[in-house]
Structure 1
């Protein structure tokens, strides 16, 4: 079995990274998981959170994502993020904009008469996951005047 696998992280704005890695830790919608060389094929829905990439030398790099999905096979992980930023680029202003978008999704889901309880619940969960992401990386989810 190989010691590394290929990892590609793409967001609509840009290709964030394409490197060989020892492991990738993913914030799965159904729970966190770690992909390593030889992993069984899977497609994983992601929730907002941190993706941790461990290079062959053991160094780690983190990326904040707002969701998306990852395709895993025994030789690679391809992550298509709804929105993604290197951890170092996650400023309070960037996070505030992400939180505003999450609040808009909740409000939109609540306003649609055809929206079922599941859609509203999913939007509320997305908002809670975004708040948890901000708190985890030291940003204030209550910094701006978001409606609560």
Structure 2
């Protein structure tokens, strides 16, 4: 289809999605990256965050990504994620509890490595909550 991208999202456990889309917003390690058809090729690291996409003729959808890599070609976006879930698959209560634990770990962190780990856990929990809430998913 002209003017469309194929979006493919895979994790070690499953192929989560392969769909024609008109736009993708990736959670890049250094900030959000918008991708439209005919984007210049690139390979980028993904951080924990929310991936948004618009299926052809559809409404914006959201997926929580733990991190990984994305390959962008003019007509294809391939995401290899360490973990990913659709917003409606997320247990909001568990994600809220994970966020509370991460925030607690962050305040008690004594080493730089502990701080980095706590921040990553916090970002993952926040991404899960955002994806679930944007999907309209209720606890």
- Tell me which interval the TM-score lies in, with the shorter structure as reference length: 0.7 to 0.9
- 1:1-148 maps to which residues of 2 (within 5 A)? 2-92=2-92, 95=95, 99=98, 117=112, 120=114, 122-136=116-130, 137-138=132-133
**Structure 2: stretches of 5+ with no match in the other structure:** 134-139
- List, as ranges, runs of 4+ consecutive aligned residues in structure 1 with deviation greater than 3 Å: 92-97, 119-122
Which segment is superposed worse, 26-35 or 123-132? 123-132
Query: Aligned partners of 2:68 and 2:40: how far apart in 1?
Result: 20
Give the conservation status (yes or no) of the 8 Å contact 1:26–1:51.
yes
Hey, which of these two has a bigger chunk of strand by percent?
2
TM-score by length of 1: 0.70
Give the conservation status (yes or no) of the 8 Å contact 1:27–1:51.
yes
The root-mean-square deviation of aligned C-alpha atoms, in Å, is: 2.9
Query: Aligned partners of 1:96 and 1:75: how far apart in 2?
Result: 37
Distance of aligned partners of 1:75 and 1:27 in 2 relative to their CA distance in 1, 3 Å threshold: same
Greater RCO (CA < 8 Å, at least 6 residues apart): 2
Query: What SS is found at the alignment partner of 1:3?
Result: coil
Give the conservation status (yes or no) of the 8 Å contact 1:3–1:56.
no
